[in-house]
């Protein structure tokens, strides 16, 4: 894991240098911790709840099952930071009443294509449940398999490299931070081409939200949707950057804890604002019906 962490740090710094981005010492410290979390999460299956170390027996039981040996489980005790599983889902979008799959279907019907970008996709759901309803990027890949790589393109970033092979039309962008998101413009994601930008956790840990928002605002197409969560102290900064790129706040919800504030922004011109209003209204109706069913 030490070698992989060193390689990831080197690759990330190289990408940031390419876009002339300088990390502060504090940001570098946070980023190094993120890389370690990323590598630790690769050891686990998606969406595995890992008990804290203080619950020693439970912790060792889970880690033995996940790593395949008691020796590795005991060794995991000596790694810094909490072991966390990845998995990725559209839970935050659902919290705001947005159905990503429905949005994708609408955009394909209207525009003939769809491009999705997830920040910090990790497993990207590609090793998760393949029988359930689409609730992650893997679900999108299955739902649009017939047009994947031709009319539907799915991208996701990671701090480390998770996948050696992916389906055509599904692209991982490793060694990319939220602040360094603009590097993906040099990696087959054209400016003003992304329909939906989504992040469930990576943007929350970003210490430079302006750089992240500026890159996302350039990548997002007119009429596009951006959903992510952030720390409360960055609310005003994020609002200013959104306004700069013609993005309006559609919805927000304070979840607290490590989920922070969940927000949805829409990028619109006057000619498309009515259509976006209709989308939000339709999502509100679906969310009301869902809550009534519960």
Rounded to whole angstroms, the Cα distance separating 151 from 55 reads 48
Q: Give whole-number Cα distances, 8 to 145, 158, 163, 177, in Å.
A: 31, 10, 14, 11
pLDDT (mean) for 144-155 = 94
Q: Across the chain, how many H-helices and E-strands are there? A: 10, 7
Rounded to whole angstroms, the Cα distance separating 159 from 154 reads 17
Instruction: Count CB-CB contacts under 10 A for residue 278.
Output: 10
Question: Is the Cβ–Cβ distance between 151 and 115 less than 8 Å?
Answer: no
Select from 133, 131, 258 the least CA-distant residue to 204.
258
Can you state the percent helix, strand and coil of the chain, rounding each to 5?
50, 15, 35
pLDDT (mean) for 99-103 = 91
**Residues composing the chain:** 294
pLDDT value at residue 273:
45
Rounded to whole angstroms, the Cα distance separating 217 from 194 reads 10
Question: Which structure tokens are listed for 65?
Answer: 């099952």
pLDDT tens for 21-58 read 999 999 999 899 889 888 888 888 777 788 888 899 99
Instruction: Count CB-CB contacts under 10 A for residue 272.
Output: 14
Pick 46 or 231 by higher pLDDT.
231
pLDDT at 169 over 60: yes
* Cα dihedral: 96, 101, 104, 109 (round 10): -120
End-to-end CA, the chain: 44
Pick 260 or 83 by higher pLDDT.
260
User: Which residue shows structure tokens 């398999």?
Assistant: 145
């Amino acid at each position: 894991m030490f070698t992989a962490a060193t390689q990831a740090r080197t690759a990330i710094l190289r990408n940031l240098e390419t876009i002339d981005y300088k990390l502060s010492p504090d940001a570098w410290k946070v980023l190094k911790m993120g890389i370690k979390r990323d590598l630790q999460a690769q050891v686990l299956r998606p969406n595995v709840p890992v008990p804290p170390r203080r619950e020693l027996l439970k912790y060792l039981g889970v880690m033995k099952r996940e790593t395949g040996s008691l020796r590795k489980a005991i060794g995991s005790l000596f790694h810094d930071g909490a072991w966390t599983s990845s998995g990725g889902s559209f839970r935050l979008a659902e919290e705001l009443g947005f159905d990503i799959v429905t949005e994708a279907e609408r955009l394909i019907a209207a525009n003939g294509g769809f491009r999705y970008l997830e920040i910090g996709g990790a497993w990207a759901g590609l090793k998760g449940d393949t029988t359930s309803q689409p609730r992650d990027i893997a679900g999108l890949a299955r739902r649009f398999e017939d047009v994947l790589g031709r009319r539907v393109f799915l991208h996701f970033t990671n701090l480390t490299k998770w996948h050696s092979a992916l389906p055509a039309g599904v692209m991982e962008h490793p060694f990319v931070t939220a602040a360094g998101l603009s590097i993906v413009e040099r990696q087959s994601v054209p400016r003003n081409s992304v329909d939906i930008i989504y992040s469930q956790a990576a943007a929350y840990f970003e210490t430079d939200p302006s750089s992240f928002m500026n890159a996302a605002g350039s990548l997002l197409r007119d009429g596009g949707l951006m959903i992510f969560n952030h720390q409360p102290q960055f609310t005003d900064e994020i609002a200013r950057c959104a306004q700069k790129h013609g993005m309006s706040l559609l919805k927000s919800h304070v979840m607290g804890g490590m989920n922070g504030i969940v927000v949805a922004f829409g990028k619109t011109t006057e000619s498309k604002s009515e259509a976006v209003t209709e989308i939000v209204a339709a999502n509100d109706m679906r969310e009301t019906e869902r809550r009534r069913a519960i």
